[in-house]
């Protein structure tokens, strides 16, 4: 029996990177996973790979910034599985720019994905989870939600917002007694494609970032993290092993933020 055997898990931004690692690890531990993203070919390939490995995975297209899309996704999950036990709010973008150079349009776009998407997931998924006695919500924040990140000020704002939104909603759920726990996860320097997809003012995201060099400079011992390092923490928070962990943050950064 896996640690999340037969639990239904929804992972946003699950086509690649940390989201994919979470989907793979949850499926390996027995969960029935629903992967959502906007990159359909990659998302379907991820679901197919999980299924080929013996897991249970479905891919659905999903714009997390749209309330109508969230309502449709929850309806589809209800029709497919009749319940939802785990929500991993992972979808996010990073726009690298000085606050003095960032356009209001980019500021709003980043907020829409990183904060509105989490808000909408909480708003629409938690009542559904509560119908069957509760579950676990894991919101992906960042070490940038814990400490200053010059050049990523607006991104840090969104990730700090995810941290306190998680805590506040966790207390709302506890007051309601609906059985839903809400926690945030704060990855450090992790080897994923986001570094070279990161938008930056003036280069349309075409710059190549040396993530090994960043880790060497910033992380104690210079150790670069892997997506599965985060996924293992997500499985813990999704499982009943963490039944008494609520309104907390799990920092997985090898001491970067210490």
Q: Which residues are annotated as catalytic? A: 155
The pair phi, psi for residue 66, each rounded to 5°, is -105, 125
Pick from 19, 30, 31: nearest CA to 84: 31
Residues 6 or more apart whose CB falls under 8 angstroms from that of 87 comprise: 9, 10, 121, 125, 126, 129, 135, 136, 137, 138
Both tokens assigned to 50? 């999980």
Q: Work out whether strand 86-89 and strand 135-140 pair parallel, antiparallel, or are unpaired.
A: parallel
d(CA 45, CA 6): 22
Residue 21: closest CA among 159, 194, 236, 226: 226
């Amino acid at each position: 029996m896996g640690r999340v055997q037969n639990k239904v898990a929804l992972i946003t931004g699950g086509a690649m990177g940390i989201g994919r690692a979470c989907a793979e690890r949850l499926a390996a531990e027995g969960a029935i996973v629903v992967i959502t993203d906007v990159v359909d070919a990659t998302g379907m390939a991820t679901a197919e790979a999980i299924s080929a490995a013996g897991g249970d995975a479905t891919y659905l297209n999903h714009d997390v910034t749209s309330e109508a899309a969230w309502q449709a996704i929850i309806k589809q999950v209800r029709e497919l599985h009749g319940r939802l036990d785990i929500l991993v709010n992972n979808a996010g973008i990073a726009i690298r720019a000085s606050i003095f150079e960032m356009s209001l349009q980019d500021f709003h776009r980043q907020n829409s994905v990183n904060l509105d998407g989490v808000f909408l997931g909480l708003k629409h998924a938690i009542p559904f989870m509560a119908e069957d006695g509760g579950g676990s919500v894991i919101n992906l924040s960042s070490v940038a939600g814990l400490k200053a990140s010059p050049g990523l000020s607006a991104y840090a704002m969104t990730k700090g917002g995810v941290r306190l939104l998680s805590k506040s909603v966790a207390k709302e759920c506890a007051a309601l007694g609906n059985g839903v726990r809400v926690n945030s996860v704060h990855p450090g320097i992790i080897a994923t494609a986001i570094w070279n997809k990161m938008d930056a003012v003036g280069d349309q995201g075409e710059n190549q970032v040396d993530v090994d060099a960043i880790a060497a400079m910033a992380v104690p011992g210079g150790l670069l993290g892997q997506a599965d390092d985060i996924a293992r923490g997500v499985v813990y928070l999704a499982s009943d092993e963490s039944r008494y962990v609520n309104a907390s943050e799990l920092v997985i950064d090898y001491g970067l933020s210490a």
